[in-house]
Chains A and B, each alone.
Chain A
């Protein structure tokens, strides 16, 4: 029998990028919040190391126990039996969640991302929409999200250069971005020999090369130190607290109000609901005991796979197919971001990108979104192209060979001796759409140690994204060659897309229509009125950029909506 705890106003499941953000406005508004997190507090001295084997090879920061037992299974068609996906490198349990190990690239999505369907049909006709895609416009516009982007940028501290302040364009920033109300709170991370090279190469091509926006302090900010540029913070954590993680930014602020209680090492097993279809609270295991935390409102804020899984597992009389799933939409419109570093260039000189952060980069957005004419190209969307610092030695030794050397022996040794510091990959992040053939459900066979099924990914073939990737790969090659690369190599891609992505979204999509969406435009369930969903799972399309800032702006907005409508939501 579960131990029943004292009721709270809001129970949040997961204190990561999204849940760890929502706690702050809620606690400031005076609501009593229980933040229930599967992981614990990480200790920078004990848990973070400038060590590629620790962080990247063994993934000791990211692969903590609970998620390790819940790696989704993967298949490319409904006829197949799914097998364990290659890794669960992104999902992690800790106070701070994935923001512990993320690279902190902090982008706003483009205004176009919010209305892809309408804009594409308007400009290119109905045939432009990819076959089998379930894409809808987002139920909000960029302008509606802009105030929340701004709030979050200042709360966590983002370093960058604005390209559009209230319509005034500055080519030192991203000229394609939507209008923002003011400049970033800090200037971009340090310019280096390499960032100057790549910015000017973009300029030679007539493209807008600009610095990555990063939730890393380029100068001391809000009582936290500036970046020391030693690297090892991606897939690791920041020793100095210079990189945002909600564990060092919003969660400590929320704790100061005394309205937030952090319940760590707690494994949430079910969200409970009553006969009327209202959620009543959260059941979890902690220290070998089962607890029930009653709450007036539950906000589900896990990683995409766990958000969908927990809803599907939480069956009740009112929700026989899983919580908030009477329309069968939980798990639908799942998207693994088409991102990767398949294009590399070899240079006849040292780039010296060993140190620094992944978010210390240069980006080109000319071939993203609808920033170029797609007539006759056979796809919509595109990709942002990024090159960046932080190259680790094992990764450098495993560099592409550019058909110049064998993969072992003395000739290989000479090749890496000369070239390990002379190559760079271009990171391309592609607009990624939802499809009928790509979804999440519960695996009928694979289970976690508690006997609960793990999430199963079904990901069918697509045409739009591979075409876009092929197109932008050529643009990436032009960029590398303009910077002086002598050799460029492109690795092939599958048509099903990535197995698991660093950026997995969808599965509890946000939209006006309850027939095709799980949550409404504010992030609250169309079916269970006092259940909100936070995280990438609410997003209906993936923009050509890292998703975290958008996830955080949406989480803040959902919390804000709850505060403003407390009476009507809690009934």
Chain B
């Protein structure tokens, strides 16, 4: 098959809407269609939902002497963008989970989650974590999902909106992606200097 044939068939494929399901099958890697997450303007969560999420992730990874909290590092932005694009399929479950969380905060602690003291917020999250919280489809599953997405936001590349100022990588003492790694950087007696840079360029992460 020559290059020219390939081009023709690609054009045909685009032109013919009747073949859309087939096009989805035979088209190239999903990677090609990836929207640059950092440029998204659409949001999945409402301002009120974002406030709850920020309060939750800030108990999972709080601000302390070791550095910024998950919300300060932008983890909720990562989560919101994920739910807008690549994880859109779980958006509804996530929104329902946040609503159940706030309802459970009200029923068990007598106030909305964001109005509770840190200790009472922890009591809500602990009940979700051990599966005793009520009013959820599955509180443990939702808790684990929030925790997992928080890790992705906090410790993933800042290109995606989290890990601001490389707070996550600094916390782990992960030295950051480098294009070339020499023998000096693979020793055990001396750790590599942190290279605070996104894999997508110096414009991300600040």
| CA–CA, A171 and B109, complex, Å | 65
Main DSSP-derived SS at the A contact region: loop
The total of chain A residues at the interface (CB under 8 A) is 73
Contact assessment for B172 and A396 in the assembled complex, using a CB-CB cutoff below 8 Å:
yes
| Interface: B147 (CB within 8 A) | yes
Binds A, one of B46-54, B59-67, B95-103: B59-67
Q: What per-residue 1/0 map shows which CB atoms of A384-424 lie under 8 Å from chain B?
A: 00000100011011100000000111101110110011000
Chain A residues within an 8 Å CB radius of B59: 408-409
Q: Contacts A52-B157, A413-B62 known; A60 to B31 CB distance under 8 Å? A: yes
A288 contact from B12, B129, B151, Cβ within 8 A: B12
Contact assessment for B26 and A287 in the assembled complex, using a CB-CB cutoff below 8 Å:
yes
B185 contact from A38, A93, A355, Cβ within 8 A: A355
Contact assessment for B26 and A265 in the assembled complex, using a CB-CB cutoff below 8 Å:
yes
Contact assessment for B188 and A193 in the assembled complex, using a CB-CB cutoff below 8 Å:
yes
The total of chain B residues at the interface (CB under 8 A) is 66
Contact assessment for A350 and B188 in the assembled complex, using a CB-CB cutoff below 8 Å:
yes
Chain B residues within an 8 Å CB radius of A420: 171-174
A229 contact from B8, B129, B181, B199, Cβ within 8 A: B181
| CA–CA, A65 and B26, complex, Å | 7
Q: What per-residue 1/0 map shows which CB atoms of A29-46 lie under 8 Å from chain B?
A: 000000000111010001
A413 contact from B12, B29, B61, B175, Cβ within 8 A: B61
| Interface: B23 (CB within 8 A) | yes
Interchain nearest-CB distance for B72 vs A (Å): 13
Q: CB-nearest residue of chain B relative to A288?
A: B19
| Interface: B4 (CB within 8 A) | no
Q: CB-nearest residue of chain A relative to B22?
A: A288
Binds B, one of A77-85, A256-264, A485-493: A256-264
Chain B residues within an 8 Å CB radius of A449: 21, 24-25
| Interface: B86 (CB within 8 A) | yes
| Interface: B142 (CB within 8 A) | no
Q: Contacts A229-B181, A416-B171, A421-B173 known; A393 to B155 CB distance under 8 Å? A: yes
Contact assessment for B25 and A355 in the assembled complex, using a CB-CB cutoff below 8 Å:
no
Q: Contacts A46-B32, A288-B23, A408-B59 known; A421 to B200 CB distance under 8 Å? A: no
CB contact list, A414-455 vs B, under 8 A? 414, 416-417, 420-421, 448-450
Chain A residues within an 8 Å CB radius of B10: 287
Interchain nearest-CB distance for A329 vs B (Å): 29
| CA–CA, A491 and B149, complex, Å | 23
Q: CB-nearest residue of chain B relative to A49?
A: B199
Interchain nearest-CB distance for B178 vs A (Å): 5
A60 contact from B30, B148, B156, Cβ within 8 A: B30
Contact assessment for A394 and B152 in the assembled complex, using a CB-CB cutoff below 8 Å:
yes
| CA–CA, A289 and B22, complex, Å | 9
Contact assessment for B192 and A352 in the assembled complex, using a CB-CB cutoff below 8 Å:
yes
| CA–CA, A231 and B176, complex, Å | 11
User: In this complex, which of A38, A58, A394, A448 has the most chain B Cβ atoms within 10 angstroms of its Cβ?
Assistant: A394
Contact assessment for A42 and B174 in the assembled complex, using a CB-CB cutoff below 8 Å:
no
Chain A residues within an 8 Å CB radius of B203: none
User: In this complex, which of A50, A53, A262 has the most chain B Cβ atoms within 10 angstroms of its Cβ?
Assistant: A53
Q: Contacts A39-B28, A47-B29, A394-B155 known; A262 to B1 CB distance under 8 Å? A: yes
CB contact list, B152-170 vs A, under 8 A? 152, 154-157, 159-160, 168-169
CB contact list, B1-52 vs A, under 8 A? 1, 6, 8-10, 12-13, 16, 18-19, 21-32, 34
Interchain nearest-CB distance for A319 vs B (Å): 25
Contact assessment for A65 and B24 in the assembled complex, using a CB-CB cutoff below 8 Å:
yes
Interchain nearest-CB distance for A401 vs B (Å): 13
| CA–CA, A394 and B169, complex, Å | 9
| Interface: A197 (CB within 8 A) | yes
Interchain nearest-CB distance for B168 vs A (Å): 7
8 contacts between A and B (CB under 8 A): A53-B152, A57-B152, A64-B28, A288-B19, A389-B186, A393-B156, A398-B148, A420-B172
Chain A interfacial positions (CB closer than 8 Å to B) = 38-40, 42, 46-47, 49-54, 57-58, 60-61, 63-66, 68-69, 93-94, 190, 192-194, 197, 228-232, 261-267, 285-289, 349-352, 354-356, 389, 393-394, 396-398, 407-410, 412-414, 416-417, 420-421, 448-450
Known: A228-B181, A289-B12. 16 other contacts (CB 8 A): A46-B32, A49-B199, A51-B200, A53-B160, A65-B24, A65-B27, A229-B185, A230-B181, A262-B1, A265-B9, A267-B26, A288-B13, A355-B175, A355-B186, A398-B148, A449-B21
